[in-house]
Structure 1
Amino acid sequence: MKIDYHKYNFEDFARDESFRQWIIYRDSQAEAFWLEWMIENPGFESKINLARAFLYALEEKDTSLGNSELDAVADEIILEHKPKRIPFLKSSIFRWAASVLLIAGMGVTAFYFFKPLTDKSLSTLEKISPVLIENYIEKANNSDKTQEIKLEDGSNITLYPKSKIRYPKVFTLKKREVYLAGQAFFNIAKNPKRPFWVYTSHISTQVLGTSFMIKANENAKDVKVEVKTGKVSVYTLKDLEERHEKQQVELAGIILTPNQQASYSKNDDRLIKSIVDHPDKLDSAPAEELHFSETRISKVFDQLERTYGLTIIYDSNNMKDCFLTANFENESLFEKLNLICKVTHSSYEISDAQIIIHSNGCE
């Protein structure tokens, strides 16, 4: 018989076998079903998020419990709201998870509360992302090593020393949002229907699924976003606030692709697009070696573009008689460009994340 999930309350979702397959067992088929169902039934988001948070909390409290034991514990908590004839270890789990039910009765759907950040931009953040102000988890890295954080959607964050990250226990239906103070590398799980947003004190970054670095140290003059894979959009927090107040759909920003970066100047209150300091070869770069023997410069530039994913602008007519003989191995992109310019009596500059070659031609 087909189940009518529209009659479910929080407890029903937490008991449901398919729902537990998604949350406890990480079953991909169940995940696909429930994410689709949530999109079609947005009115159930609060009940589903509470059930998800309850099961996540129960699992997180004692990872030594097997999946079947977690099922049994969850059932008894839901049915009884207090333990009966259980060992002391599980009893503590009961008391802890039962507090989730108490919190649920207050209408709160997150279970870790930390002292609010004192950053002056939080008043803006409160308008555009209330979930990061009211109900959140915050983790700080006070060690001298990076710290790995795995989010409930499968995304991974590498948090650098003297940095902290804030995120909800359970992401909302429409988007995934976090707040960063400091430096972190993000490897985001793809989900086009739920874009991922990273807010800092001055800028915000929107992604669908990619990997990138954000450097937002409070003492630094600039805030930087560096893209390794995929594509991201970067906006100032001021622009987001204005869009929210005016209820605008369009939002001006900078789009970044691999090996590009956006720098926010705190003094000028503007974003500048450029190339990262150390461009890497793309994973999709052609396998052939960068070995050239009397090769037309147009072919050299074309191969460099495909290798690094960057645009090289030059006057093809001026440089039609330019050729290159060189074997590139471990040189950086900028070392390669310096050699090419030396051989062809040219120069280059970086503008808007593009490489512009200036040349009077080759004899």
Structure 2
Amino acid sequence: MQDYARYDIKDFLADEAFCRWVLHEKPADNAFWENWIRNNPDRASIVKHAKELIAEIHHAQNYLSEEELQHELYRLTAARKSATEAQEYAEQTNDEYKPHWFGANWANRMSVILVALTCFVVLFYFYSNYSKTSKPQISQQTLQDKKDEKWIEVRNDQTSIKVVSLPDGSSVRLSPESKISYPAVFVQNEREVLLNGEAFFEVVKNPESPFKVYTNDVVTTVLGTSFTVKAFDQDKDVRVVVKTGRVTVAANPPQNKTPQPEKNELVLLPNQQVVYHRDDQKMKRSLIENPAQIGPPDITSQNLIFDNAPVAKVFESLQKRYEVQIIYDADLMAGCELTAELGQEPLFEKLGMICKAIQARYEVIDGQIVIHGSACK
């Protein structure tokens, strides 16, 4: 997890999880941040100022066109450069040569200017990219145009998995009654495939060329990871399951349906999944039924042994093993300890045993595990 205790305002503004909380206030995010602020009261003022700035910039963006936003970004970037140069110049000269407007506390003023400009630039990119990816990624006509191009189409009419190698070295395990289409050669900075059915992807990492899987309902975007997409035409739902890495799933509803204005894009981490309901065009993120341990077999095969260990250490170990987020009140449970050996039991079985030992309970909210309990005697 991020060390938010060391964050200043511009760090919070550049943090995707923090911005998501401010804009959407999802229950899991609320639980985490409210708990964090209680445990870090000295940072509450910085958090408050960061929230206010995000809200103001987001509100202002609603009244600007794309052209105006680009112009504002250019202007702010130029201003930030000038401010930086002025600060460097002032630091290299004696006080008597500093511009009169710096004053006695010129360093503090310059710092505030630079932070404000940095915030504007960072948030422009964040919200500009968010607004772009939140819209449907590709129209049905474009999908048809791609199918009409000279792409390679592979169908799996067998009863077993069919392995398909893509031009970039990525591999696809295509399920029966499924088909995939892709270009003979991926163009620069673009790797796109079309899927109808179900497939497991192991994507070669390339930060300069995002990998996108298009279906009739969702667009899945990655840089390099492994995940499954299930999107059969006859199914009511579309499902994306992440095994490793980070995946973005955006809604791409058919043209005869109006897209939902909110919650049409989600970021998934290992052991998380998203289900897109075709009828109401809503997406729901959750943990998979049986989360798997992430990492080399020689590490994941080792049991976790605790001897009067603080419960915080136990939760931290599970977070690393499964790459899931566990939210709990650290102060409230500071006195809770655990003596146990956790082997290859399913994650939820482990959590059940831990919660029973410390008289707590857990629930899964939006792909995160939230622990509810009280102080240990």
Shorter chain as denominator, the TM-score bin is: 0.5 to 0.7
In structure 2, what is the equivalent of residue 277 of structure 1? 289
Amino acid at match of 2:367: A
Query: For 1:257-305, what per-residue CA distance to the aligned partner results, in whole angstroms no more than 9, with x for missing partners?
Result: 2111111111220111111222111116966631112211111001001
Asked if residue 296 in structure 1 is aligned to residue 310 in structure 2, the reply is yes
1:148 to 152, 157, 163: 163
Unaligned runs of 5+ in 2: 1-135, 258-262
Q: C-alpha deviations, 1:183-210, integer Å up to 9, x for none?
A: 1100111222221110112101011111
Count of residues in Structure 1 that have an aligned counterpart in Structure 2: 235
Q: Are residue 184 (structure 1) and residue 209 (structure 2) matched?
A: no
1:129: Cα distance to partner? 7.9
Choose which of 268, 277, 282 in structure 2 pairs with 1:256: 268
Taking a change above 3 Å as real, the CA distance of residues 176 and 241 of structure 1, as seen in their structure-2 partners, is: farther
AA partner of residue 323 (structure 2)? G
Q: Is the 8 A contact 2:277 2:283 kept in 1?
A: yes
Structure number with greater CO (CA < 8 Å, separation at least 6) is 2
Q: Counterpart of 1:325?
A: 339
- Measured in 2, the distance between the counterparts of 1:322 and 1:220 equals 46
**How many Å separate the matches in 1 of 2:252 and 2:186?**
21
- Offset of residue 240 of structure 1: 11
Partners of 2:264 and 2:217 in 1: CA distance? 15
TM-score normalized by structure 1?
0.60
Match of 1:265 in 2: 277
Is 2:323 the counterpart of 1:309? yes
RMSD: 2.7
Over 3 Å counting, the alpha-carbon distance change for 1:308 and 1:230 in structure 2 is same
Matches within 5 A, 1:158-169: 158-169=173-184
Equivalent pair of 1:239/1:252 in contact (CA under 8 Å)? no
Partner of 1:230: 245
C-alpha contact 2:156 2:174 (8 A) present in aligned 1: yes
For the 8 Å contact 1:214–1:226, the answer to whether it is kept is: yes
1:358 to 2:354 alignment: no
- What amino acid is the match of 1:339? M
Q: Which has the higher helix share?
A: 2
Partner Cα distance (2:216, 2:267) in 1 = 20
Q: Please give the secondary structure, in 1, of the residue aligned with 2:139.
A: helix
Distance of 2:339 and 2:198 partners within structure 1: 41
Alpha-carbon contact 1:167-1:179 (below 8 Å) kept: yes
Provide the C-alpha distance between the structure 2 equivalents of 1:126 and 1:209, rounded to a whole number of angstroms.
Answer: 28
1:338: Cα distance to partner? 1.0
Residues 125-164 of structure 1: CA deviation (Å, up to 9, x unaligned):
4336843443322211111110000011111000011211
Structure 1 partner of 2:25: none
**Aligned partners of 1:193, 1:125: CA distance in 2, in Å?**
26
Amino acid at match of 2:314: V
Distance 1:350 1:195, change over 3 A: same
Q: CA deviation at 1:322?
A: 1.6
- Structure 1: which amino acid aligns with 2:152? I
**Selected match of 1:219 from 227, 234, 237:** 234
Matched with 1:204 is 219
- Conserved? CA contact 2:253–2:281, under 8 Å: no
* Alignment partners' CA distance in 1, 2:176 and 2:323: 31
C-alpha distance in 2 between matches for 1:161 and 1:147: 8
Contact 1:206 1:233 in 2 (8 A): yes
- CA contact 1:191–1:208 (8 Å) conserved in 2: yes
Tell me the TM-score normalised to structure 2 length. 0.58
Q: Work out whether residues 272 and 285 of structure 2, in 8 Å CA contact, stay in contact via their aligned partners in 1.
A: yes
Whole-Å separation in 2 of the counterparts to 1:241 and 1:282: 41
Which residue number corresponds to residue 334 of structure 1? 348
Runs of 4+ in 1 over 4 A off after TM superposition: 239-242, 284-288
Larger radius of gyration: 1
CA distance in structure 2 between the partners assigned to 1:213 and 1:349 by the alignment: 25
Gaps of 5+ in 1: 1-120, 243-250
Q: Distance in 2 between matches of 1:277 and 1:221?
A: 19
